[in-house]
Chains A and B, each alone.
Chain A
Amino acid sequence: RKEVEQDPGPFNVPEGATVAFNCTYSNSASQSFFWYRQDCRKEPKLLMSVYSSGNEDGRFTAQLNRASQYISLLIRDSKLSDSATYLCVVNGAFTGRRALTFGSGTRLQVQP
Chain B
Amino acid sequence: EAGVAQSPRYKIIEKRQSVAFWCNPISGHATLYWYQQILGQGPKLLIQFQNNGVVDDSQLPKDRFSAERLKGVDSTLKIQPAKLEDSAVYLCASSLTQDGGYTFGSGTRLTVV
Contacts and interface: CB of A to CB of B under 8 A. Distances in A.
Tell whether A and B belong to one assembly: yes
Interface of A: 4, 31-32, 34, 42-46, 49, 87, 91, 96-105
A44 B104 CA distance: 7
Interface in B76-95: 91
Given A43-B91, A104-B42, A98 B98 contact: yes
B107 A102 contact: no
Interface residues of B, number: 21
The 6 closest A-B pairs by CB, nearest first: A102-B42, A43-B104, A104-B42, A99-B48, A102-B43, A99-B45
Contact of B45 (A31, A32, A45, A101): A101
B43 A97 contact: no
Given A4-B42, A44-B104, 8 more contacts: A42-B106, A43-B106, A91-B99, A96-B56, A97-B45, A100-B102, A105-B41, A105-B42
Nearest to A6: B42
Nearest to B45: A99
A41 B107 CA distance: 9
B48 to A, nearest CB: 5
Given A43-B91, A43-B107, A102 B56 contact: no
B42 A46 contact: no
B44 interface: yes
B61 interface: no
Contacts of B48: 99
A85 to B, nearest CB: 9
